[in-house]
Structure 1
Amino acid sequence: MKSLFLLPLFLTFFLYTIRAEIRFSEIHSDSRSTILFDEFGFTHSGYLNLTVTDISLMPPGPGPEPDLSFVGFFLCTQDSWLHVLEQLQEGEIQCFLQSSSIIPVLTFNHPQNPTQPTRNLNTSIKVSESNLFTLVFANCIPNLKVSMNVHSVMYNFIPKTTTFDFLSAGKTSLPSIYFIFFLIYLFLGAVWIRTLYKKRLSVHRIHFFMLAVVILKAFNLLFEAEDKSYIKRTGSAHGWDVLFYIFSFLKGITLFILIVLIGTGWSFLKPYLQDKEKKVLIVVIPLQVVSNIAQVVIDEAGPFGENLYTWKQVFLVVDIICCCAVLFPIVWSIKKLREAARTDGKAAVNLMKLTLFRHYYVVVICYIYFTRVVVYALESITSYKYEWTGVVASELATLGFYVFTGYNFRPKMHNPYLAIDDEEEEAAAEALKLDDEFEL
Structure 2
Amino acid sequence: MGLTSSAVVEAPRPEVFAWFQRPGAIVRLTPPWMPVRIKREATDLADGTAVLGFPLGLDWVARHSGAVAPAQFVDELDSAPLRWLVHWRHTHDFEEVPPNRTRVIDRIDSNVPAVMLRSMLAYRHRQLADDLAARDRAIEAGMRPLTVAMTGSHGTIGTALAALLTTNGHRVIRLVRGQAEGPDERRWDVETPDANLLQGVDAVIHLAGASIAGRFTPEHRKAVRDSRIGPTRQLARLAAETTDGPQVFVSASAIGYYGPDRGDEPLTEGSSRGDGFLASLVEDWEQATEPAAAAGLRVVNVRTGLAQTPAGGVLQLQYPLFAAGLGGPLGDGQQWQAWIGIDDLADIYHRCLYDADLSGPINAAAPEPVRNDEYSATLARVLHRPALLRVPALGPRLILGKEGTDELALASQRVLPRRLTDLGHTFRHPDLESALRHLLGRPVKAG
Output the TM-score relative to the length of structure 1. Answer: 0.23
Higher relative contact order (CA closer than 8 Å, sequence separation 6+): 1
Normalized per residue, the structure richer in helix is 1
Larger radius of gyration: 1
**Greater fraction of residues in strand:** 2
